[in-house]
Chains A and B, each alone.
Chain A
Amino acid sequence: MTGVPLSWYLILSALLFALGVAGFLFRRNIITVFMSIELMLNAVNLSFVAFSYQLKQVNGHIFTFFVMVVAAAEAAVGLAIILTVFKNRETLNVDEVNSLKN
């Protein structure tokens, strides 16, 4: 036993992802929700890199790179939307952003 089993990495990834889901579901601050999403993305990235090690291929790294790019774009647009929502509604609580229903 000379190294860490790869499954540990995967379980760490699953743990982080589950934490992200929990934050995504239970937090009400829209920015925190957003950060939970980033956490989930990071968890997925970790599993990508881990698989890349397992398969001895760089493709996993490429996917991680693309995820980062998309995450950057998403953060830019998402935060702009949050700004707009805040300017219009004076709130960051997702429970109060419910005009889809009414």
Chain B
Amino acid sequence: MDVILFLAFAAIAVVCAVNVVVQTHPISSALSLIGVMGSLAVLYLLLGAEFIAMAQVIVYAGAIMVLFVFVIMLLNAGAESRRGRSLTAQLLGIPGFFALLVLLSYTVLRLFPDAAHVKFGGFTGGSAKDVGKLLFTEYLLPFELTSVLILIAIVGAVVLARKELE
């Protein structure tokens, strides 16, 4: 059951991710990206990360992607032009991609050769209670700092957006 779930959602994630990259219209890319995030949320659940899975759906798939879609709509962005594509990029792109993939995989597997087997329910420490406990004790200062970061981001976004409205 675990294997099936993993393979299914991993396949969805990969297909959607490929779609993100190859689609020429940004709105297609954005919708594909939402698919990636949704399937990732399921994988998080399989890994026992309940809180993160929910946050993934709400924050990423919900808030951030809505923002993307909203901007795409606002700018009325059309399909990407196909003019002036570099020959080297076309020639090197696919081999380069696979080279990077192999390198990453090799590195990961070399560093973790005796990885455990993932079974649903094998780790139950990812509930909102556990995450919150750690977040408000050991990681209190970074947590508070992120709130400042978000405040700055809001102010920055407002300033940037207001300027062009004038």
Smallest Cβ-Cβ distance to B143: which chain A residue: A66
What is the total number of residues of chain A having a CB less than 8 Å from a CB of chain B?
75
- How many residue-residue contacts, CB under 8 A, span A and B? 243
What is the total number of residues of chain B having a CB less than 8 Å from a CB of chain A?
81
Q: Tell me if B139 and A56 are in contact (CB < 8 A).
A: no
Chain A neighbourhood of B40, CB < 8 A? 42, 45-46
Q: Secondary structure at chain B's binding surface: helix, strand, loop or mixed?
A: helix
Q: Tell me if A81 and B160 are in contact (CB < 8 A).
A: yes
A6 to B118, CA, bound (A): 6
Chain A neighbourhood of B156, CB < 8 A? 76-77, 80
Interface 1/0s, chain A 1-17, versus B by CB < 8 A?
Answer: 11111111111111111
Chain B neighbourhood of A97, CB < 8 A? none
Chain B neighbourhood of A34, CB < 8 A? 68
Q: Secondary structure at chain A's binding surface: helix, strand, loop or mixed?
A: helix
Chain A positions near chain B (C-beta within 8 angstroms): 1-23, 25-29, 31-32, 34-36, 38-39, 42, 45-47, 49-50, 52-54, 56-59, 61-62, 64-66, 68-77, 79-84, 86-88, 92-93, 95
Q: A22-B100, A25-B93, A65-B52 are in contact. List 7 more A-B contacts (CB 8 A).
A: A7-B109, A23-B21, A25-B89, A31-B77, A52-B126, A58-B131, A65-B131
Chain B positions near chain A (C-beta within 8 angstroms): 2-3, 6, 10, 13-14, 17-18, 20-21, 23, 26, 29-30, 33, 36-37, 40, 43-44, 46-49, 51-52, 55-56, 59-60, 63-64, 67-68, 71-72, 74-75, 77, 80-81, 84, 89, 93, 96-97, 100-101, 104-105, 108-109, 112, 115-120, 122-123, 125-126, 130-131, 134-135, 139, 142, 146, 149-150, 152-154, 156-157, 160-161, 163-164
